Amino acid sequence: MGGRPLTALNVMGIPEDKVPPEVIAQILRGGASTAKKAGCALLGGHTIRNPEPVYGMAVTGIVHPKRMLTNASARPGDLLILTKPLGTGIATTAIKRGLASAQLARRAIMIMRQLNTAGAELAEKGLVRGATDVTGFGLLGHLTSMCRASGVGAELVTAAVPALSDEVFDLIAKGCIPGGTRNNLEAARDIVTWHDLSVAPAILLADAQTSGGLLLCVHPKRLDAVRAILKKHRTPASVVIGRITRSRNCSIIVS
């Protein structure tokens, strides 16, 4: 939403009989390192016993009220820019099942570790009209929320949407698809019109992402300036994947 993080608190739940102290220490070191990269001070936190390991942060940040990015500000004619490739849900499911190559695993982890720091600078410079991140509801789910909040529609071109690698499509063909992704695809049927689309690209658009990228609404005249900032922040992608359209029923057309 264009905010800059200031402080963070660790939130951790650990099954002591399954996760040794050295692994706990590695998790906390990783969190501290990432907070430092984000320019965020880690103040402490809270740890509890839990049946399965969970870790996250409660973060406090700051944003100017007039520069806040929301999903309710998209306007017809805006270009849709995606800053990370899709497929982490499929990749992590493949890792759990022992089906992912080492190369795909490394690629997925690298992408998930990448921070979305470009968002704050884009907001502060007023270069982006609206934005959302792409996480558990997939690209289609979060775009649907944006269209409904803004009272607009959208058009997507699947050939422009980046995937982690071609291996993702091989895994889809083998049925390596998360339950959340299947649910997202089913939910999208009510609002999405599909034009000559095969199954695999549709699943990719619905794939539930972990630490996904930003979906940005950008006026065409600001495209070069936005891409320059994305390049400075080394975002994995800066791809135009479609545009915002006028639509009374907030429909999304995918071709």
* Confidence category of residue 154, pLDDT binned at 50, 70, 90: very high
Residue 165 is predicted with a pLDDT of 95
Residue 156 is predicted with a pLDDT of 96
Average pLDDT over residues 25-39: 95
pTM score, two decimals? 0.92
Task: Quote the mean pLDDT of the chain.
Answer: 95
Q: How far apart are CA 87 and CA 72, in angstroms?
A: 26
Dump pLDDT digits (tens) for 156-212. Answer: 999 999 999 999 999 999 999 999 999 999 998 888 998 877 889 999 999 999 999
Backbone φ/ψ region at 247: left (φ over 0), alpha (ψ -120 to 50), beta: beta
Question: At residue 226, does pLDDT exceed 90?
Answer: yes
Question: And the tokens for 119?
Answer: 């968002």
Q: How far apart are CA 28 and CA 147, in angstroms?
A: 38
Residue 123 is predicted with a pLDDT of 94
Domains of the chain: 4-62 (3.30.1330.10), 79-254 (3.90.650.10)
Residue 248 is predicted with a pLDDT of 87
3-state secondary structure the chain: CCCEEEEEEEEEEECCCCCCHHHHHHHHHHHHHHHHHCCCEEEEEEEEECCCCEEEEEEEEECCCCCCCCCCCCCCCCEEEECCCECHHHHHHHHHHCCCCHHHHHHHHHHHHCCCCHHHHHHHCCCCCEEEECCCCHHHHHHHHHHHHHCCEEEECHHHCCECCCHHHHHHHCCCCCHHHHHHHHHHCCCEEECCCCHHHHHHHHCCCCCCCEEEEECHHHHHHHHHHHHHCCCCCCEEEEEEECCCCCCEEEC
Q: How far apart are CA 48 and CA 68, in angstroms?
A: 34
